A and B are shown apart, each in its own frame.
Chain A
Amino acid sequence: MDGKKKKKNIKIIREFGIIVAILLIAIIFTLIDPLYVTPYNIISIIEQSTINGLMGIGITFAILAAGIDLSIGSTFAIIIVCVGKLLVSGINPILAIIIGIGLGFAVGIGNGLLICKMNIQPFVATLGTMSLYRGIAYILTGGWPVLNIPKNFRSMVDGDILYNIPVSIFILLLFAFLTHILLKYTRFGIYIYALGGNEEATRLSGVSVDRVKILAYGIVGIGAALAGIVMLARLGTGEPSAGQGYELNAIAAAAIGGASLAGGKGSIIGTFLGAILLSALKVGLIVVGVDTFWQYIATGIIIILAVYIEYVQSKLYSKSLTVRYQE
Chain B
Amino acid sequence: MRNRSMIEFNNISKIFPGAKVLKEVSFDIKKGEVHALIGENGAGKSTLLNILHGMYTEYEGDIFLDGQKVNFKNPHNAIEFGIAKVHQEISLVPELTVGQNIVLGYEPRKGQFIDFDKLYNQSDKILKRLCCKFRSNDIVSTLSIGEMQMTAIAKALFHNARVISFDEPTASLSGSEVNTLFEIIRDLKNNGTTIIYVTHRLEEVFQIADRVTVLKDGKHITTNNVSNITREHLIKNMIGRDICAFAVRNRPRRFEDKVVLDVRNLSVTPYFKNVSFKLRRGEILGFFGLLGSKRTDVVRAIFGADKKNSGEIFINGKKKEIFSPEEGLKNGIGLIPEDRKTQGFVKNLTNADNIGLSCLKKFVYFGFLNHNEKKKNCEYFMEKLNLTPKDPMYFTEQLSGGNQQKVVLAKWLSSKVDIIIFDEPTKGIDVGTKQEIYRLLEDLAEEGKSIIMVSSELLEIIGMSDRIIIMNEGRIVKTLNYTEFSEEKILQFAMEGG
Contact = CB atoms under 8 A, between A and B. Distances in A.
Q: State the majority secondary structure of interface residues on B.
A: mixed
A324 B18 contact: yes
A198 B328 contact: no
B243 interface: no
Contacts of B393: 2-5
Interface stretch (A185-193, A231-239, A281-289): A185-193
Contact of A7 (B329, B344, B395, B428): B395
Given A202-B346, A207-B357, A208-B326, 7 more contacts: A4-B391, A198-B345, A200-B343, A201-B346, A206-B358, A323-B16, A326-B41
A321 interface: yes
B337 interface: yes
A190 B428 contact: no
Contacts of A319: 17
Interface in A276-327: 319, 321-327
Interface in B334-376: 335, 337, 342-350, 353, 356-358, 360-361, 364, 367-369, 371
B54 interface: no
18 contacts: A187-B361, A190-B353, A190-B369, A198-B343, A200-B342, A203-B324, A203-B325, A205-B357, A205-B358, A206-B415, A324-B18, A324-B19, A325-B16, A325-B42, A326-B41, A326-B428, A327-B21, A327-B41
Interface in B384-402: 391, 393-395, 398-401
Contacts of B394: 2-4
A185 B371 CA distance: 8
Contacts of A194: 346, 349, 353, 357
Contacts of B400: 324, 326
Contact of A325 (B21, B45, B303, B395): B21
Which 5 residue pairs of A and B lie closest in terms of their CB atoms, listed nearest first? A206-B329, A4-B393, A197-B348, A325-B19, A322-B18
Contact of A206 (B45, B325, B343, B349): B325
B47 interface: yes
B44 interface: yes
A189 B324 CA distance: 21
B19 A204 contact: no
A201 B342 contact: yes
B344 A201 contact: yes
Interface residues of A, number: 35
A264 interface: yes
Contacts of B45: 327
A180 interface: no
Given A187-B369, A327-B47, A204 B335 contact: yes
A154 interface: no
A190 B347 contact: no
Interface of B: 16-19, 21, 41-47, 303, 305, 324-326, 328-330, 335, 337, 342-350, 353, 356-358, 360-361, 364, 367-369, 371, 391, 393-395, 398-401, 411, 415, 428
Given A204-B325, A205-B325, A323-B17, A3 B398 contact: yes
Interface of A: 2-5, 7, 185-187, 189-191, 193-194, 196-198, 200-208, 264-265, 319, 321-327
A193 B16 CA distance: 30
Contact of B368 (A7, A185, A201, A322): A185
A2 B18 CA distance: 15
A194 B360 CA distance: 12
A265 to B, nearest CB: 6
A323 B19 contact: yes
A204 B337 contact: yes
Contacts of B329: 205-206
B349 A322 contact: no
Most chain B beta-carbon contacts within 10 A, residue among A7, A194, A197, A201: A201
Given A4-B394, A194-B346, A186 B357 contact: no
Contacts of B399: 324
Contacts of A190: 349, 353, 356-357, 360, 369
A7 B395 CA distance: 9
Nearest to A263: B348
Contacts of B347: 197-198, 264
B346 A208 contact: no
A186 B348 contact: no
Most chain A beta-carbon contacts within 10 A, residue among B21, B45, B345, B428: B345
Contacts of B303: 204
Nearest to B40: A327
Contacts of B371: 185
B17 A326 contact: no
Nearest to B367: A186
Contacts of A187: 360-361, 364, 369
Contacts of B356: 190
Contacts of A206: 325-326, 328-330, 358, 415
Contacts of B349: 190, 193-194, 197
A206 B305 CA distance: 9
A191 to B, nearest CB: 8
B411 A205 contact: yes
B364 to A, nearest CB: 6
Most chain A beta-carbon contacts within 10 A, residue among B345, B346, B349: B346
Contacts of A201: 342-346
Contact of A324 (B348, B357, B398): B398
Contacts of B305: 203-204
A267 to B, nearest CB: 12
A241 B349 CA distance: 41
A130 B426 CA distance: 48
Contacts of B411: 205
A200 B46 CA distance: 28
Contacts of A327: 21, 41-47
Nearest to B371: A185
A142 to B, nearest CB: 44
A191 B347 CA distance: 13
Contacts of A4: 350, 391, 393-395
